[in-house]
A and B are shown apart, each in its own frame.
Chain A
Amino acid sequence: MPKPEKAIYTTSLAGLRKAGPGYTRAYFGAEFCQWRLPGRAGLAGAIALAEGRGMSFTLVTPWVTDEGIRRLKALFRVLTGAGMKEAEVVVNDYGVLTLLREEFPGLAPVLGRLLVKRKCCPRIPGMLEGLPDAGREIYLHAGMEDPVAAGLIRGFGVKRVDMDVPLQGLAPDLKSAGLRGSVYTPYAYVTTTRHCPASFDGTGWQAFEGCRLKGCLKNVLSLTNPAHEARLLMRGNTQFVENRELPEGLAAMGIDRIVYMEDVP
């Protein structure tokens, strides 16, 4: 059985420079906030770094407003212009998916973990015991396993979907949906917001209209509460749980890529 592809996911050039050996693909960009997207020069630098290390390249993109669509067009031109083989874009917004198909068909779309849909609350492991079998089963699956939905996104050129592993585990069947999967580790996202505390300037959240504070770049918070054992980690606008356990039998689920994060993204 072939080993899964190993990718490194980082949001900064410094993170990409520090990446250890053994990775064959670089995930680079911003998954949760359009104000954290790299500029054109930053993206060009990341592509050059990845190429220099013999890695394929995946640009990670967030949900976006119309302003974000404009920013992404500029980045997609850079990525297209780089002429890399197998360049991918992780999309977490259906508007971005249509943009790729209509204007940048040479870039391969990957459906991001915000759109794949799965249950990921840190309370879940504590509540499963009281549920009927069929009710428990829901928590191991994801929306994009559905062959009808998967058929639609395949029509937009999507062949791969990205997921992560919530605390209760994961057992998707992507093969039946005609898709391949990636799994991110160890930070599973729980929730995200535009009310970003790292953009709060005393009267409101800059993230609604652009962000100059960018407190997300250097600060990570820990949120703990007796109601659930796992602590939440928060960078900028997004909360995660840390889960270093990967499910057994990834290949049987259709998962053939592991995306490693060396820091909270």
Chain B
Amino acid sequence: MRILSPIDRLDEVGPLVDAGVDELYGGFVPGAWLGRYSIMGSTNQRFFPGAQIKTEPELARLISDAHRRGARFYLVMNSQFYTGPQYGELLDQARRVHALGADGFIVSDIGLILRLRDAMPDAELHLSTLGTVFNGRSAAFFAGLGVKRMVFPRELTVAEMAGIVKANPGCEFDAFVLIGKCPNIEGYCGFTHNSPELVWPCEEAYRVEAVKGVNGVDGIINAQMGWSRINRRQACGLCAVSGLAGAGVTALKLVGRGGPTAMKVKVAGAVRRMLDLAENAPSGHETHAAARELYREIFGRGCNPYICYFPEVWRREG
């Protein structure tokens, strides 16, 4: 399996590749676009400047450096949707970045997928997690639009992923394994990530009360409030790496655009170590012990079911 890491700056290429990353993905919003729509109208699903590669020359050098070091680069253009006047500009941007050598585009909007397929038939199209592929038929639908590779939603079990992979032998699939787990389904979520403090509506502390409450409502309230008691940016699915390999997943995807370089490098190194361990076919117990040790090494604390990427593994293994 490959490791797919976020990247925001040219100087991150070397450390990330050295840590074991095979592929990189990042966003870039042209200045003219920013002037017209602001960062809130971003071309991708990140709405703060730290999560974007700053200039086209930097993007060009980043792609070139990645290739020189044997890594691929994908540009993220995965807004939930675009409006009519935006498509022409998006195609122009895609053509320019394709000419710079980008290896593909991570997209979700059907209008953009169809336009890219028709205008740039040699461009590799990956479906973002915002495409919400929850079943084999849905994957086949997007494959029929020309999508070659798909990022699974964060809410599938390993067994469900295996079923989708098996039903779509011509496609490749990515699964998230570390950092940013959303409480909600990203592709169906309308929350706006625009707080200057980078605290999103899904992680704020809410006052939660029953409007209609009968059986077990206190437990439901407590379960919902749990999200404000944990750091969802410390999410982990390392225990499932062997299982994901067995499921036929192509790449392990790391979240964290806009995050510190040191954390990106640390988590990439942890996943590489987990992959190396998986090659030796360890027992389930050994896998879990190693994953939990790595987790504590990265985050300085034990893991938690709320931020476990594969809660069915948590329930099974405890």
One digit per residue, 1 when the CB lies within 8 angstroms of any chain B CB and 0 when it does not, for chain A 55-73 equals 0000000011110110000
Do A114 and B188 form a contact, CB below 8 Å, given A95-B141, A138-B37, A146-B82? yes
A145-B109 Cα distance, complex, nearest whole Å? 12
Q: How far is the CA of A168 from the CA of B212 in the complex (A)?
A: 27
A140 to B81, CA, bound (A): 12
| Beta-carbon nearest neighbor of A166 in chain B | B190
Please determine whether B157 and A208 come into contact, CB atoms closer than 8 angstroms: yes
> B170-198: contact bitstring with A at CB < 8 Å (1 yes, 0 no)?
00000000000001110011111011000
Please name all residues of chain A whose beta carbon is closer than 8 Å to the beta carbon of B135 when the two chains form the complex. Answer: 64-66, 68-69, 93, 95
Whether B37 contacts A66 by the Cβ 8 Å rule is no
* Chain A 36-69 near chain B by CB (<8 Å), digits 1 or 0: 0000000000000000000000000001111011
Please give me the residue from chain A that is nearest to B36 by CB atom: A134
Asked if B83 and A224 make an inter-chain contact with CB atoms under 8 angstroms apart, the answer reads: no
Is B55's CB within 8 Å of the partner chain A? no
Assuming the contacts A98-B141, A141-B83, A221-B210, asked whether A191 and B155 have C-beta atoms less than 8 A apart, the reply is no
Residues B183 and A193 in contact, CB atoms below 8 Å apart: yes
Can you list, as one digit per residue, whether each of B306-318 has a CB less than 8 Å from chain A (1) or not (0)?
A: 1000011011001
Decide if A121 touches B191 in the complex (CB within 8 Å). yes
Residue of B nearest to A124 (CB): B192
A-side contacts of B137, CB under 8 Å: 69, 94-96, 98-99
Q: Are A63 and B132 in contact (CB under 8 A)?
A: yes
Supposing A135-B37, A223-B207 touch, asked if A95 and B138 sit within 8 A by C-beta, the answer is yes
**Are A142 and B81 closer than 8 Å at their CB atoms?**
yes
Residues of B within 8 Å of A93, CB to CB, are 132, 134-135, 138
Stretch of A1-9, A199-207, A249-257 contacting B (4+ beta carbons < 8 Å): A199-207
Q: Among the listed stretches A21-29, A76-84, A212-220, which one makes contact with chain B, having 4 or more residues with CB under 8 Å of it? A: A212-220
Instruction: Closest A residue to B189 by CB, please name it.
Output: A191
Give the size of the chain B interface in residues (CB under 8 angstroms): 75
How far apart sit A143 and B190, CA to CA, in the bound complex (Å)?
13
B305 within 8 A of A: yes
List chain B residues, Cβ under 8 A from A198: 220, 223
Say whether B156 faces chain A, with CB atoms less than 8 Å apart. yes
Chain B nearest CB, measured from A233 CB (Å): 7
**Which of B87, B185, B226: most chain A Cβ within 10 A?**
B185
- B300: Cβ under 8 A from any A Cβ: no
Q: Are A65 and B134 in contact (CB under 8 A)?
A: yes
Query: Measured between alpha carbons, how far is A93 from B131 in the docked complex, in Å?
Result: 10
Complex Cα gap A189–B191 (Å): 10
Q: A121-B201, A132-B37 are in contact. Are A215 and B141 (CB under 8 A)?
A: no
Q: Are A204 and B312 in contact (CB under 8 A)?
A: yes
> Please, what's the 1-or-0 string for B138-170, where 1 marks a CB less than 8 Å from any CB in chain A?
111110010000000001110010011001000
- The complex places the Cα of A153 from the Cα of B110 at a distance, in Å, of 10
Which residues of chain B (273-318) have a CB below 8 Å from chain A? 305-306, 311-312, 314-315, 318
Residues of A168-194 contacting chain B, CB below 8 A: 189-194
Taking the closest CB of chain B, its distance from the CB of A230, in whole angstroms, is 11
Chain A residue with the shortest CB-CB distance to B312: A208
Closest to B109 in A: A143
Q: A215 near B201 (CB under 8 angstroms)?
A: no
Binding site for B on A (CB under 8 A): 63-66, 68-69, 93-99, 114, 117-124, 127, 130-132, 134-135, 137-138, 141-143, 145-146, 148-149, 152-153, 166, 189-195, 197-198, 200, 202-205, 208-209, 213, 215, 218-225, 227-228, 232-234
Q: Which 10 residue pairs are nearest across A and B when measured between Cβ atoms?
A: A143-B81, A95-B137, A120-B190, A95-B138, A200-B223, A197-B223, A121-B192, A194-B155, A146-B111, A197-B224
